[in-house]
């Protein structure tokens, strides 16, 4: 094949163009810190990058969900702790009132305190965090009654609990679940069917009425066991919350490890090795200078060069 001056010039220009492209690639990697900036540069790296970024985004969303889970469980545990203190105080008062040394007026005073403790239990049952009722299932903004949103436990002007509404609320209860990992959901609410039942408020009102009516001591003693059974229900529910909180801690640790692993894989896939890029850039600069030097020798002088 006959090699002409035109062929030599075209090959030299093509090689110089490729050299410039390589210089541009390494300069871009050095300035961005990434292996590629466009999918067309390496479709495999680009597709893997999309998958890794999706995985990281999912894990970070689950971690945000875990914050909501902790918010529910921590506040629920605090509310149940307060409910347990109230019931323990009621038990103490029941023991005092049934020992036969209290007169009718003193028992009336105890009944007054029982009513105040019942009102405190109502407040606990209607606990709100971020304008969400903790003990009303998925109806976190309240239950619609007669066109209005009402709390889980309704009290009239005389301080009496609307027991029928408590029954209705418990019947309409749906648990709240939050997804903490792919395919895994945790129930974050404490079901009031296990704590703030109609029987609880009925028994408290019955105890208050018994104190005011002057019933015998043995009948008052019966209320001690009733209050203890309700307190035991609260303790059991707190135990369930505690077990759930322990599981949440384990899931948080796993999510943290998964986030570190996913980000590491994403970095290995996308990030450029800066040391290697600098070496490649320096090498390419030397190659480019050599190409320019040799190219100047390839191009033969013309008649115009001599006329100068």
User: Domain segments of the chain: what residues?
Assistant: 49-266
pLDDT of residue 182: 87
C-alpha torsion angle, residues 105, 111, 117, 121 (rounded to 10): -170
**Confidence tier at 305 by pLDDT (50, 70, 90):** low
Distance of alpha carbon 225 from alpha carbon 106, whole angstroms: 22
**Residue 268 clears pLDDT 60, i.e. is over it:** yes
**Confidence tier at 221 by pLDDT (50, 70, 90):** confident
Q: Is the CATH code 3.50.50.60 the one for domain 49-266?
A: no
Backbone angles phi, psi at 179, to 5 degrees: -80, 125
**Pick the residue with more confidence: 57 or 151?**
57
Region 102-120 average pLDDT: 87
pLDDT of residue 301: 63
C-alpha torsion angle, residues 282, 288, 292, 295 (rounded to 10): 140
Report in angstroms the alpha-carbon separations of 259 from 69, 146, 180, 191, 243. 19, 48, 14, 33, 25
CB 197 within 8 A of CB 152: no
Distance of alpha carbon 250 from alpha carbon 305, whole angstroms: 80
**Residue 302 clears pLDDT 70, i.e. is over it:** no
Region 217-223 average pLDDT: 80
pLDDT of residue 146: 64
């Amino acid at each position: 094949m006959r090699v002409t001056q035109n062929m030599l010039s075209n090959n030299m220009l093509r090689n110089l163009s490729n050299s410039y492209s390589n210089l541009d690639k390494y300069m871009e990697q050095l300035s961005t810190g990434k292996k590629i900036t466009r999918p067309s540069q390496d479709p495999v790296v680009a597709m893997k990058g999309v998958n890794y970024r999706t995985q990281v985004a999912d894990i970070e969303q689950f971690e945000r969900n875990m914050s909501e889970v902790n918010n529910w469980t921590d506040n629920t545990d605090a509310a149940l702790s307060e409910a347990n203190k109230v019931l323990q105080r009621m038990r103490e008062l029941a023991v005092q009132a049934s020992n036969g040394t209290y007169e009718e007026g003193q028992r009336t005073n105890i009944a007054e305190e029982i009513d105040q403790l019942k009102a405190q239990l109502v407040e606990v049952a209607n606990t709100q965090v971020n304008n969400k009722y903790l003990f009303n299932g998925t109806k976190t903004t309240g239950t619609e009654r007669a066109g209005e949103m009402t709390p889980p436990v309704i009290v009239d002007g005389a301080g009496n609990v609307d027991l029928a509404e408590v029954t209705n609320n418990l019947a309409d209860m749906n648990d709240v679940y939050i997804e903490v990992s792919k395919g895994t959901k945790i129930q974050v609410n404490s079901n009031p069917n296990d704590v703030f039942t109609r029987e609880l408020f009925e028994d408290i009102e019955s105890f208050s009425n018994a104190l005011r009516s002057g019933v015998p001591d043995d009948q008052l003693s019966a209320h001690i066991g009733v209050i203890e059974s309700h307190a035991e229900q609260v303790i059991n529910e707190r135990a369930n919350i505690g077990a759930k909180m322990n599981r949440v801690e384990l899931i948080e640790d796993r999510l943290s490890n998964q986030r570190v692993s996913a980000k590491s894989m994403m970095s290995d896939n996308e990030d450029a090795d800066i040391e290697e890029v600098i070496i490649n850039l320096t090498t390419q600069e030397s190659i480019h200078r050599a190409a320019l030097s040799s190219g100047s020798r390839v191009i033969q002088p013309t008649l115009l060069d001599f006329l100068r």
